[in-house]
Structure 1
Amino acid sequence: MDKLEVNIVELLEYLQDIIESAPKVPITGKSMVDKKEFNEVIDQIINYLPDQFKKAQWVMNEKDRILGDAQKEYETVKKETVKMMKHNVENHDIVKEAKIRGAEILALAQRDAKAIRIGSREYSNEILSELDKELEDKKSKLIQLMQKSFEVVAKEIDENMSNASITIKENIAELRNM
Structure 2
Amino acid sequence: MANINELIDEIEDIMDNASSVPFSRKVSVDPDEIFEIVREMRDSLPAEIKNAQWINDEKDRILQEAENEAKSKIENANSQINNFKEQAKNQYQKMISEHQITTQAKDEARRIIEEANNQANSIKKQSYQYVDQLFSKSSDNFNKLAQSLEKNRQHILNQK
Q: TM-score of the superposition, structure 2-length normalised?
A: 0.50
Q: TM-score of the superposition, structure 1-length normalised?
A: 0.45
